[in-house]
Structure 1
Amino acid sequence: MPKTSARLLALLSLLQSRRDWSGTVLAERLDISLRTVRRDIDRLRELGYPIAAVKGPDGGYRLRAGTELPPLLFDDEQAVALTVALQIAATTQGSGLAEAAGRALNTIRQVLPARLRNRITALSVTAVDRPSTRPAEPVDGTVLLAVSAAVHARETLRFDYSKEAPTSTEGSTITDSPARRAEPHHVVIRDGRWYLVAWDLDHAAWRTFRVDRMSLRTPNGPRFPPRALPGGDVAAFVTSTFRGSTDGGWPCQGTVILNLPSATVATYTRDGLVEDIGPDRCRLTLGSWSWPSLAAAFARYDTDITVVGPAELTGAFAHLAHRFSRTAAGHAIPDTPEGDTGPSPG
């Protein structure tokens, strides 16, 4: 690449990284003179970049938002991050952006340099459920790319896993082991967390591993033939894993009538069926991993509840009522440990 072109790209990258830049700082960063900075700014303006002059002792520059979209410049990390975001949007059901995100992803792939296109091609992410409202757990981008590359190449991964063990498809946990071996099949993001769906060679079972708890060992192990995922759909498999069921549904599901408008209940219901049955009344169907947790989920709506069914849900309400009564009476309060300076009972 000619020296001038490379310098212009470096200048544009700096202008995109923060709001204001003084001419002196730009000159120092690029190891050029102030006169060259002004000349390169003029060249970028001719290319359509809206760069405004900022008043100050040294003078400065700001890349403004324009009415037209000039050519964009991304470094490697930005390109990878953009690709991940578009893949998540393209695989998120109900977002209304899936088709547009897919087209944008194809457009970006076409203009990437070969060295980066190969990395992006190996990066495949599936979004499970709707986007989370909580911040995503931090994950090392290098690890994420390496895991995705192993999925793409069908290479066995060797890694250390943190002390807290992942959950198996049967709902049990795996004891900590310093050297895991697994055949990686899918990278998914669920509720703000990154997971690897893989066949655990040491336990001969499908597992989900938190990517942020993985420390990869190199090199990777041998290649493996593709193995069929139970059910064939990764989103359904992951959902079933976390719900503790085999068909993607909740192990426990019940229906109640709430003395609240359906519009109000729907606002606070993420995963359930809300049906309007009259003024200030609605029917709500929810699922959970246990009957007591399901009863507690209904109780959070803070209104009178009529159980439609099943009988297990009625029993769960009675169980919680007994437990809460004991708690309110003080019988379930644990003894204060010796040396505890907290408030004393009564």
Structure 2
Amino acid sequence: MSETTSRVLRLLGLLQSQRVWTGAQLAEQLGVTERCVRRDVERLRELGYPVHASKGHGGGYQLGAGAALPPLLLSPDEAVAVAVSLRLAAGGSVAGVGESALRALSKLDQVMPARLRAQVAAVHDTTVTLASAPDTPVDPDVLMTLARACRDHEHVATGYVDARGNATECRLEPYQLVTTGRRWYLLAYDRDRQDWRSLRLDRMTDVRALGSTFVPRRAPDAASYVQRAISSSPYRYVARVRYFAPESVVAQCFSPASVTIEADGPDACILTAGADDPERMVLHLALPGVEFRVLSPPEVVDAVRAAAARLARAAG
């Protein structure tokens, strides 16, 4: 591969990794002059890549969308990740993606080197996906709009229907998408509430990227924030329970999306979970089969006492 070809491929990789690059930034990354960058940009355009250039504050080079999808530049690790993701997407939670994922996977498999194909097969052959209750699938357009907005720090407006059926309009600063396998969530800063929140993508309507951008705030950890939100906030009762067993033992009995667990010393942990029915929650809490004590709230404590009395009577 010639030095020029190698540099053009590096330029393509840079343009795919970030929304906008100035000529000076690209020249520094490639170790060439800005004039050389302009020539390489023209070579990419001749190959069918729509590279847009704009002047002024915030301007620079940007890889745009074309009439047809030109070849993508993928590293070996990226190619394996894409192939594995496409296999999983065939039965995933995004509407209409299954058939498209299989077609894309077949095209990628044709050009993938044998050693990478073997890595993908190894992951697939040693992975089992548990079937779960169906949920409302996410519109792929919504998913892609939000993914781009998170990447580019772009303001978003959307309608939203909460768990109680209340419809509102939201102005958001989107930060990160989180999936539990069955559902997709967005961590965002709500400009009207002036606070962080998590939103289910299947409850969002008329999602619009507004074109204006924001300066990123210091955001909470997306996975932890969403996990706490979906394990407690939608429910009437939120229980805190101390288990007299290590965190690793208790965690095996619960879905990570339904509870949060924190170590409380080497041989104990604190679990937080939500429910609308305290009595049904008791059966759920007993799953680990180890000693535990409900710390709060009183309604769940009373439900444990009632369940214990019934079991004692059942034992004779």
What is the TM-score of this pair, normalised by structure 1?
0.39
* Bigger-Rg structure (1/2): 1
